[in-house]
Amino acid sequence: METVTWLLFALGISLILAKIGDSIIERYELPGVLGELLMGMILGNLVYFGLVAPHYLPIVSGEGFATDTTAIANFLAKLGIIFLLFLGALDTDIEQLKKTGLTATVSTIMGVFVPLILGWFALMELGYDSREAFAGGVLLTATSIGLTVRVMMDLGVLKSEVGAASLSASVMDDFLGIALVIFAVGTGSLIELSLKIVAFFLITGVIWWYLVDYYIRFAERLHVEKGVLGMALGMMFLFAALAEGWFAAAIEGAFMMGLTLSKLPEGKRLMDDVRAIGYGLLIPFFFVHTGAMLNLTVFKHKDALVLAAVLTTVAIVGKIIGRGFGAWITAWGRGREFLFTRENFWMSLQMGIGSIPRTEVALVDLMVAIHGGAIKPEHAPEFIAATLIFITVSVLITPPLLKWAFKREIEEARAAKTAQKVERIRETKERIREIKEGR
Amino acid sequence: MDVESALQHFHSMKISNVMSGPGSIPVVTDDTDIISVLKILRTRHHVWVVRDRESMELVGIIRYMDVIDVLLPPDVHRFKLGMTSKPMKSLLGGATTAGDVAEKQVLTIGGEETVLDALIKMRKYRVQVLAVVEGERLVGEISLRILIDELLRLLRVGGPQWKQ
């Protein structure tokens, strides 16, 4: 009885603080998720530092802190990840993915694999085993385009070639970041794992792609309240169960269900309902829960700081080099003569810098890697600390770097505006002179 | 005709017999500038967006309520996973054409389906208008206003022209 009371209390306080934290951080034009994580961190450390007994706030995990209800909180957080990915996929524009041009494609692939490989080897150098190091590399793969879009909009360059390519690349980038985590958490031989992956994508991506339409028609014929929503969520959980069973990565199932559903107008019409459940309850709880996993005492040991420094460096440098070089090498489809030009260099650098921010997918991959056993329990606190640090650094440095990279375009736009203003004043003066002369 | 029999007949009517045809519905091509779209939306509830007027391939729909996202500055929206499509419709965010702001996945209905099917679909997805299509070609629309007009016509209470 009492445990339920405190679980409900923790859920309530988490949601309220999540929304307040989100709002505060958004005022500084930073991703609100940082505010949710921060609130979680405060809540969690009230327990870790012994100020509140664990059973009053059963959202923290770890030895000595887990209670009877911790598993329920963990499950709710997991549902949050599932809804986040389902919603992300449902919001995807498949047509845009199909139109991804050569520059966006090459730069995305390099922008994913360069930080992955760099991170993998860097972590192995630090002494982590190959599987754990690979999982660390996967955390660095997926860009969170939201912040870049916002900054590019503010700078008035979103409609530029770089802006369009960045947007186009972001869809594929998320897709790869989410898919790669399978290789980190998947077990068994490489052949067995590969066969499972092929079978999974055949079932959920190819066969279901053709069947989803009939399924939704069937759901429509049931004529029950929220029948389509219930049937869609039901199938999403079945896919998630399949992915959890095969790869310990339920998110893959949710993502594939969202992706296939996104092609149907009926699927898109479910977004408001799914958003209400997701962003109204489960997703903020997931972020608070993740923040609460950061035990600040982890910084007593230098391992966490070293890992954070390495992951942050690789996250930034790897993306700029990977995506930037990927864009540069294609010369933006303008032929070889454009390759060594100053413009190609700057456009590619802009593309690289725009891909630095990481938020949601990095956290999702982190949680999947921890729960899937790819990151060992004893290393989980330092990975959580390092991930939260590289996420924070990545979102803080991107806006000034983007402003610097686009300074020429901004100055040109400013000069054009000034010239327009001067021209308007000249025309007005001319008109007044004409009126005075009685013409 | 009494209400009961009028409604029975009404529900079984084919969409193709009730719908507004392509000549009388608001249509723009996807490269039409947003200002022209806004001018149409001063007096219309929605605008259909097609690839070109020859093929009439349906690209999307811009509803009256979508104008809110067009007019709002993009930073009012939250850029979160699963919530990125709306801010992209903002004029200040760089949207310039009908294609940029149109909702691409449009609820459609076939000409052979009935008024009852249309009503159920409208209720289920809370929309007031459906595109009538043949394959990907827009051939008309069915809206609540059209359905109300049709019912009143059956009941012969809508106006003098229906009493004939």
| Full 3-state SS string of chain B | CCHHHHHHHHHHCEHHHHCECHHHCCEEECCCEHHHHHHHHCCCCEEEEECCCCCCEEEEEEEHHHHHHHHCCHHHCCCCCCCCCCHHHCCCCCCCEHHHHCECCCCEEECCCEHHHHHHHHHHHCCCEEEEEECCEEEEEEEHHHHHHHHHHHHCCCCHHHHC
Distance CA A44, CA A73 (A): 13
- Structural domains of chain B, count: 1
How high is the ipTM of this complex?
A: 0.76
Q: Which domain holds residue B71?
A: 3-158
What's the whole-model pTM score? 0.85
Whole-number Cα distances in Å, A253 to A205, A248, A274: 10, 11, 16
Contacts of A144 in chain B (CB under 8 A): 81
- Provide the pLDDT for residue B163: 47
Q: Which domain holds residue A321?
A: 2-405
Asked whether B96 and B34 are in contact (CB, 8 A), the reply is yes
**Are residues A137 and A36 located together in one domain of the fold?**
yes
Report percent pLDDT > 70 for chain A: 98
Per-residue pLDDT of A223-237, as tens digits, reads 888 999 999 999 999
Distance CA A147, CA A137 (A): 22
B85, B105, B124 member nearest A220 (Cβ): B124
Q: What is the helix (H) or strand (E) element at residue A186, kind and residue range?
A: none
Whether residue A154 lies within 8 A of chain B, CB to CB, comes out as: yes
**Are residues A58 and A207 located together in one domain of the fold?**
yes
**CA distance, residue B156 to nearest chain A CA (Å):** 32
- Structural domains of chain A, count: 2
**CA distance, residue A92 to nearest chain B CA (Å):** 8
B75, B78, B105 member nearest A32 (Cβ): B78
Whether residue B149 lies within 8 A of chain A, CB to CB, comes out as: no
Query: Which of B88, B92, B62 lies closest to A170, judged by CA?
Result: B88
Q: Which two tokens stand for residue B7?
A: 């409604």
Interchain CB distance below 8 Å, B104 and A93: yes
Question: How is A296-308 classified by DSSP, letter by letter?
Answer: GGGGGSHHHHHHH
Whether residue B43 lies within 8 A of chain A, CB to CB, comes out as: no
Domain CATH for B93 = 3.10.580.10
B90, B106, B124 member nearest A228 (Cβ): B124
Interface of B with A in 89-118 (CB under 8 A): 90, 92-94, 96, 103-108
Query: Which of A319, A346, A344, A350 lies closest to A332, judged by CA?
Result: A344
**Are residues A118 and A100 located together in one domain of the fold?**
yes
Contacts of A32 in chain B (CB under 8 A): 78, 80
Tell me whether residue B163 is in a domain: no
**Are residues A323 and A433 located together in one domain of the fold?**
no
| Strand pairing category for B108-110 and B129-134 | parallel
**Are residues A374 and A415 located together in one domain of the fold?**
no
pLDDT averages per 10-residue partition of chain A, 439 residues:
86 96 89 92 93 88 77 92 91 73 91 96 95 95 84 79 82 85 85 91 93 94 90 96 92 93 90 92 94 90 92 96 94 89 93 92 93 91 94 93 90 84 88 82
**CA distance, residue A301 to nearest chain B CA (Å):** 34
**Are residues A378 and A273 located together in one domain of the fold?**
yes
**Are residues A298 and A232 located together in one domain of the fold?**
yes
**Are residues A393 and A412 located together in one domain of the fold?**
no
Whether residue A376 lies within 8 A of chain B, CB to CB, comes out as: no
Q: What count of CB pairs under 8 Å joins A to B?
A: 89
**Helix, strand or coil, per DSSP, at residue A40:** helix
- Provide the pLDDT for residue B164: 45
Q: Closest-CA residue in chain B for A258?
A: B82
**Are residues A220 and A106 located together in one domain of the fold?**
yes
Whether residue B68 lies within 8 A of chain A, CB to CB, comes out as: no
Interchain CB distance below 8 Å, A159 and B94: yes
- Low-confidence spans in chain B with pLDDT less than 70: 1, 75, 78-79, 81-84, 158-164
**Are residues A358 and A242 located together in one domain of the fold?**
yes
**Are residues A369 and A414 located together in one domain of the fold?**
no
Contacts of A286 in chain B (CB under 8 A): none
Tell me whether residue B141 is in a domain: yes
Interchain CB distance below 8 Å, B94 and A153: yes
Distance CA B87, CA B94 (A): 10
**CA distance, residue B2 to nearest chain A CA (Å):** 28
Contacts of B117 in chain A (CB under 8 A): none
Whether residue B79 lies within 8 A of chain A, CB to CB, comes out as: yes
Domain CATH for A9 = 1.20.1530.20
Interchain CB distance below 8 Å, A267 and B105: yes
- Provide the pLDDT for residue A120: 96
Mean pLDDT of chain B: 87
B82, B94, B96 member nearest A278 (Cβ): B82
**Are residues A121 and A150 located together in one domain of the fold?**
yes
Distance CA A410, CA A28 (A): 22
